[in-house]
A and B are shown apart, each in its own frame.
Chain A
Amino acid sequence: MPDSVMTDHTRQMQAYWTKLDTRFPQAEAVFDACMTEALALLTPTEIDAYLEAARGIGKLGRGVEPLLEFMTEWPSTVQAVGATALPTVMATIQAMQKSPNSSAMTPFLSTMAPVAHRLQSPELFQQYLNITLDLMARTTGSIHGHHTTFPSPGLPDFLAQAPRLLNLLSLGGLKKWVDYGIRNYHSHPERQKDFFSLQSADSRAVLQRERSGTLLVDVTRSLDLYLRGLWQDEEQLIPYSTAFDELRKPIPYYDQLGIRLPDVQEDLGDIQAIDRYRAVLAHITGHRRWSHPQIADNWSPFQRMAVEFFEDCRIDTLLIREYPGLRRLFLALHPHPAEKACDPETTSCLRHRLVMLSRALLDPQHGYHDEDLNAYVPRFHAALEHGASSTGEIATLALSYVAKTRRQSDQFAKIHFDNTVVDYRDDNRQLWQFIESGDEEAAFDEPRKIEPQEITGLPPRHYSEWDYHSQSYRPDWVSLYEAIHPSGNAADIDRLLQKHAGLAKQLKKMLDWLKPQDKVRIRYQEEGSELDLDVAIRSLIDFKGGSTPDPRINMSHRTNGRSIAVMLLLDLSESLNEKVAGSEQTILELSQEAVSLLAWSIEQLGDPFAIAGFNSNTRFEVRYQHIKGYSEGWNDDVKARLAAMRAGYSTRMGAALRHAAHYLEAQKADKKLMLILTDGQPADIDTTDDRLLIEDARQAVKELDQKGIFPYCISLDASLKAGEDDYVRDIFGQHYTVIDHIERLPERLPQLFMSLTR
């Protein structure tokens, strides 16, 4: 290079450096490299703006990192989304600077370029910045009027995760995920951090929900049918997550427990995601059908790899023989690498060679010219010409191919991977059998024994909860523990029934005329509701023919059978301990009496019937206690449990409704009735928003409707006055009654039940 040019260049660089106006030695170290990249990618005006912005960042007083990150990331960002984003990026940095969130600057700038490359458009990038600012504004805390005292706990984690998140989610999905995190962990800094760094379970669950593509769970039934119908095979399909392993992407496989498939597949060109699943399943079934394990100990990894490729091709060929249409599918999914894509002088090309061969074995129009390849394709087909060949035979062919095409460069550490992954094939772990477990002669470690843990109760069931803000479910939000209610003294209940003997007599009368429904036609009636035309004509014929006509020419209907299953769900929250105005009894005692009478009545009718109570102590502990099961009669065990009824804690109704529905749904009855006896609105101590649990209960009621369950609420909330905007109507629509005079509850409850089921 001529001296003058050299000096020009140096002088120019010097001018830039002056413009940057910084004294950080670290900046000087990277300056030349950054400027070289910037000069290649940016226009002169953009260069000026770049240096100006960098200067500004350097002068913020936040150390050298933001400056370094900006210097290195910006040119690449401009390449992806253009330079127009600069003002907003600077505005974002300004906003961070002005708030206590300046520590988020470095992660923001360091992931800016990967994010931009993922989004590829200035508008989308702008939206991403908006999401960031929104997250910052909403999670930056202030306590009692101190303005923005605490930095947003989740923001740096979010920014660090951003490229990875955008790999999995669309921008819309990202926004929902962020919203969810802000809403639910707004006031809980540690959890918020866990959420935004993808540590917490529901963070992953929500992420999974927002992902694009076809989820395995949605197509499991189709795939089961596919396995059964086309391959007469049957196996558990188990998803593995593809979202969290970036480096080692899991590959489909199968073992004794089932077939493992990726949890989500995207459409690939015109190949639908479900067809990609089908291709994997077909391939795995092929192995199950035709492959036999080989002893692997004496083969080198290269030999094993070749055997796997040959065997995979044998399997695919046999599958195509069975269903010729699979060829199109397999070829669409199989890579078709260019013959000269790999340079054997510098790179290990074994994979590349094997994939080309694999392509050629399946695709007659492969178009490769390699001599060895073209020699082995006919040998492979010859082996398969008559019958299915065998794993052993094909392995021999594979070994001879490896020997023939071996190159020194196969040992190189740099391996050609591009376009060599056949993603519908499994990892072939079932193909190998190892005689020795390892090179070590003596293995001392005994398999560790896991002491079985003592089980103290049933494990919790998890229920989702409806979040009305986002109109979506919070996955597995509530933990519900079920148990059998402790027992007390059954005689107490008998005494209560004794006390209401008069009422019981009245009820009995009502029960007697509670006739079952279900219409049945009764023919051959002299008196009836309708003329039975067939019989009438027959009688007329008899009459005309001279014989005695049958006078029973009418028919009527009668109802037959009563098929109602009932679930009575009792709210056992603390408020039940209050005394009823003008009475010595608590609401709990009155409920006890009422429930006893109701249970007795229903027992008289013979309807299947269950009683359960619930209360809650935050979302981590909703207790659901069985008082009477469907299979139990109205016996002393049940009465004893009823006698021991105690009230305490809060009312998280949604989860209890869902759990009760799960039992009621399993009942075989035409009508399913769920009675909910409660004295107040759903509430829990970990929820500050009153509407939240009301909306959740309302959603749970909608779910009941979908399951064919008829919910009916009996509210004892004395504060409810007619015409007021009350929550019971919000939850249950028209299906509720408010009992004003609670002392009449024992009388009203059974009557209500009867009028409901008449």
Chain B
Amino acid sequence: MIDKNQYLIHTEPFYQPQRNEIALYEAAYRNKLPVMVKGPTGCGKSRFVEYMAWKLGKPLITVACNEDMTASDLVGRYLLDANGTRWLDGPLTTAARIGAMCYLDEIVEARQDTTVVIHPLTDHRRTLPLDKKGELIHAHPDFQLVISYNPGYQTLMKDLKQSTKQRFTAFDFDYPAAELEAQIVAKETGADAILAAKLVKIGNVARNLKGHGLDEGISTRLLVYAATLIHDGVDPIDACRMALVRPITDDADIRETLDHAIDATFA
């Protein structure tokens, strides 16, 4: 039997609600509706899902999707052992069996034909057929499917099929408003409010440049990294360059502009 407890989240993750998303999620969960969380990278999608799993007291199984992932990576496969073969459940099957929340992170990274296997689980049927094994799993009443994706790097090649999209309720996340984001950075790292506000200001400079040479602005996650470094005693300007600018761009002009913004902010 699978140990359900290993998937439980025991300590409360810090999550700062932006609007009424917690209540809405709870309503979706009560009615076992699949949920999609959209938003730019590092804005708190995964953190939100983690927080909800903790709040609802349900196990959470996370799958980071990638291009080489096949349907059997989700559903399960036969493995060879000394006596022949043995069936191993995939994460999706496990979640359906034990009644966990299954979180498919960055679902667009998986190929479109792979994602089709989730379809029977996401409508009224709530079943998962294992054709190789000849078994039909009826999902546990607590089971819920959550997917996340980042519409920022949505290209023609990487998008969800309409038939997949239309099986989900969705939350649209964005970077929090400046004051709220400063609170988050402060709370997450123990940085003081003034420093946090300055970091957020630099973050917003980069976000203004989105689409003008930057694919994504500086994420809340990177701001937290920077604050962590500063908290550890690193010089603020160095920390910002290291955590905020160097990771996101190789473009000399943009780097220079952001460096200047850092100099101008930390007088």
Contacts and interface: CB of A to CB of B under 8 A. Distances in A.
A229 interface: yes
A325 B213 CA distance: 25
Contact of B209 (A225, A325, A326, A538): A225
Contacts of A324: 264-267
B209 A323 contact: no
A326 B213 contact: no
Contacts of B258: 229
Contacts of A278: 260
8 contacts: A224-B212, A226-B260, A228-B212, A323-B264, A325-B263, A329-B264, A541-B77, A541-B78
Interface string B191-213: 00000000000000110110011
Interface residues of B, number: 26
B135 interface: no
B254 interface: yes
A222 interface: yes
A323 B72 CA distance: 54
A484 interface: no
Interface in B54-80: 70, 72, 77-80
B84 A325 contact: no
B111 to A, nearest CB: 12
B253 A225 contact: yes
Contacts of A329: 264
B112 to A, nearest CB: 16
Contacts of B11: none
A323 B261 contact: yes
A222 B256 contact: yes
A278 B205 CA distance: 15
Nearest to B262: A325
Contacts of A534: 70
Identify whether the interface residues of A are mostly helix, strand, loop, or mixed: helix
B257 interface: yes
A135 to B, nearest CB: 40
A49 B265 CA distance: 63
Given A228-B209, A232-B208, A323 B257 contact: no
B6 interface: no
A230 B261 contact: yes
A278 B260 CA distance: 9
Nearest to B263: A325
A544 interface: yes
Interface in A208-228: 221-222, 224-226, 228
B78 A323 contact: no
A541 B85 contact: yes
Contact of B265 (A221, A232, A325): A325
Given A225-B209, A230-B205, A327 B85 contact: no
Given A228-B209, A229-B206, A325-B265, A541 B79 contact: yes
A387 interface: no
A232 B260 CA distance: 15
Interface in B233-267: 253-254, 256-258, 260-261, 263-267
Contacts of B77: 538, 541
A278 B264 CA distance: 11
B212 A225 contact: yes
B264 A325 contact: yes
Given A222-B253, A229-B261, A323-B267, 5 more contacts: A225-B212, A229-B209, A229-B258, A325-B264, A542-B78
A46 interface: no
A545 B84 contact: yes
Contact of A541 (B80, B209, B212): B80
A229 B205 contact: yes
A544 B85 contact: yes
B212 A275 contact: no
Contacts of B261: 229-230, 323
A278 B266 CA distance: 17
A225 B213 contact: yes
A316 to B, nearest CB: 13
A225 B210 CA distance: 10
A325 B266 contact: yes
Interface in A509-547: 534, 538, 540-542, 544-546
Residue in A222, A323, A541 with the greatest tally of chain B CB atoms within 10 Å: A323
B245 to A, nearest CB: 12
Contacts of A225: 209, 212-213, 253-254, 257
Contacts of B267: 323-328
The 4 A-B residue pairs with the shortest CB-CB distance in the complex, in nearest-first order: A324-B267, A325-B264, A323-B264, A545-B85
B208 to A, nearest CB: 5
Interface string A272-285: 00110010000000
B85 A229 contact: no
B264 A230 contact: yes
Contacts of B254: 225
Contacts of B208: 228-230, 232
Contacts of A546: 84
Residue in B79, B205, B206 with the greatest tally of chain A CB atoms within 10 Å: B205
A222 B213 CA distance: 11
Interface string A40-70: 0000000000000000000000000000000
B86 to A, nearest CB: 9
Interface in A536-595: 538, 540-542, 544-546
B265 to A, nearest CB: 6
A487 B65 CA distance: 59
Contacts of A545: 78, 84-85
Nearest to B252: A222
A545 B84 CA distance: 6
A229 B263 CA distance: 14
Nearest to A324: B267
B84 to A, nearest CB: 5
Interface string A355-393: 000000000000000000000000000000000000000
B195 to A, nearest CB: 13
Contacts of B212: 224-225, 228
Contacts of A224: 212
Nearest to A326: B264
A544 B80 contact: yes
A145 B169 CA distance: 93
A222 B267 CA distance: 21
B91 to A, nearest CB: 19
A651 to B, nearest CB: 40
Contacts of B266: 324-325
Nearest to A231: B208
A540 B85 CA distance: 10
A540 B260 CA distance: 60
